[in-house]
Amino acid sequence: MNYPNGKRASKKMNVSKHRSKPNFSNRGMSLEEDINVTNEYYLNAGIAVVHKKPTPVQIVNVDYPKRSAAVIKEAYFKQASTTDFNGVYRGKHIDFEAKETRNKTSFPLSNVHQHQIDHMKAVHDHGGICFMIIKFAPLDEVYLLPSPQLFHYWDDQMGGGRKSIPYHQVQLEGVRIPFHYQARVDYAKALDKLYF
């Protein structure tokens, strides 16, 4: 094979007959990326203003190998982060977490942390709308689960109950969010069904 510059490709460039190991480094990011695309569409269309919250990080050590490049060598989380996304939709504050699971039969509550639940309860108590967007990756299904249902399962777990939310309960108590081209995870329509 010749490249446009006229040089021939080396034999090392040939595709190996052996399968390479799958790369799982970005697993779990696709849901967040789809929500980011949705939020950008909502903003441009004047539907909602929702942004991903940055994780608060304290940089401790930076190496400057060149003037134009800096490499962070050491950093720590300043504090436990709250939820992934927040903003305004139809005049109401919304705050939500997005989680993906490889499990087909349930959503493990170990994917959620106490400080996130505490934050969501506080927002809910002040009149905001909180929810969780859950993607069952093997089924390629996404659901919006309202916070009161999430709180029920969380509190039940803390009292010795099951440590996951069964898939069929997510189907019953949540709203399925079909994939769309522009608003990939069109959670606004699910919020309309539940709250407006």
Task: Dihedral sign for Cα 79, 80, 82, 84, please.
Answer: positive
Residues ≥6 apart with Cβ < 8 Å to 191: 89, 90, 94, 129, 131, 144
Residue 116 labeled ligand binder: yes
Residue 33 labeled ligand binder: no
Q: How far apart are CA 121 and CA 137, in angstroms?
A: 27
Residue 171 labeled ligand binder: no
Q: What is the DSSP string of 49-98?
A: EEEEPPPPEEEEEEEEEETTEEEEEEEEESS----SEEEEETTEEEEEEE
* Amino acid symbol at 40: E
How far from chain centre, in Å, is Cα 129?
17
Residue 97 labeled ligand binder: yes
Q: Give the residue numbers of the binding site.
A: 82, 84, 97, 116
Q: Give the residue numbers of the binding site for Mg(2+).
A: 82, 84, 97, 116
